[in-house]
Structure 1
Amino acid sequence: MDQILNQLGGLVLGSVPTMVLFILLVVAYGLIVRRPLDRVLAERRARTSGALEQARRAIAAAEAETAAYEEKLRHARVEIFQMRDKKLKQWNAEREAALAQARQQTQDRVHGAKQEIEQSAHEARLQIAGMSEELSSRVLNAVLPAGVQAAEVAQ
């Protein structure tokens, strides 16, 4: 067993320089590779998260602009519809005024035509009344003898 212990002691003593070299290698790795790598990774994370934050801000700004444009578009549409309704009302009012004027002119013409017809009818009645007396005297002259007519006319 002593022999095993001596062999183990020799192995451990022989591995001391290897352990020292390994520890130096780990420390050198930490100083030369690990710290710069961690620094570069941290800077990369900062840039990436900064770029992501900047992209989020740009997206938010674009959404705000889009909302503003949509609001302006809605306002413009409302204004266009109001102007269209105003024009339609104006055209309807003009049409109604023209129709009212045409109705009034037509009513005036009809009234004038009725007055002319009544005047013509009145004149025709007067003419008929005048002619009826003449016709009745002619009929009497033709039907009755001359002596009977003179006696009746005197009465």
Structure 2
Amino acid sequence: FFFIFLRWAFWRPLERVLAERRAATEGAHREADQLLGQADEKLRHYEEALRRARAEIYRQQEAARQQALDERARILRDTREKANQMVRQAKLDIANDVALAKKELEAESRRLAEEITRTLLEPARRGGRA
């Protein structure tokens, strides 16, 4: 009888309290596991967002670098073209100067030849030699 009384008065309430604590502990463990799972999921989302942001930054940096290289190439191309144009123009100017100098030399040569001829032939026309 004493055993039944102890069981009813002491062990059953103790077992009930232990069962409640076990249920609460297991529930806390499940909740902790669930929270850890949510934290892991949030961490994965954060890491993915960070990876995408880094990739976008790298893409933008590469685009800016490529744009700078393209601009540099364009400036070099334009500068080369201007330099080539200046060289072509200088060659034309030199060719024109050479042609003009040749014409002037030809004209001067003719004038000198006529003057020399006149000087040499003038005394002969006057009837005598110098």
Q: What's the TM-score bracket when you normalise by the shorter of the two chains?
A: 0.7 to 0.9
Shift of 1:28: 2.5
Q: Of 118, 128, 131, which residue of structure 1 is paired with 2:108?
A: 131
Name the counterpart of 1:9.
none
Matched, 1:87 2:64: yes
Q: Give the TM-score normalised by the residue count of structure 2.
A: 0.78
Largest Rg, 1 or 2: 1
Q: Give the TM-score normalised by the residue count of structure 1.
A: 0.67
Shift of 1:66: 0.7
Name the counterpart of 1:110.
87
Where relative contact order (Cα < 8 A, 6+ residues apart) is larger, the structure is 1
What letter matches 1:54 in structure 2?
E
Q: How many pairs were matched up? A: 124
Extract unaligned runs of 5+ from structure 1. Answer: 1-22, 148-155
Name the counterpart of 2:42.
65
State the superposition RMSD in angstroms: 2.7
Q: Of 96, 99, 102, which residue of structure 1 is paired with 2:73?
A: 96
Matched, 1:40 2:14: no
Extract unaligned runs of 5+ from structure 2. Answer: 125-130
What is the alpha-carbon distance in structure 2 between the residues aligned to residue 129 and residue 33 of structure 1? 141
Shift of 1:77: 1.5
| Overall identity of the aligned pairs, in % | 30
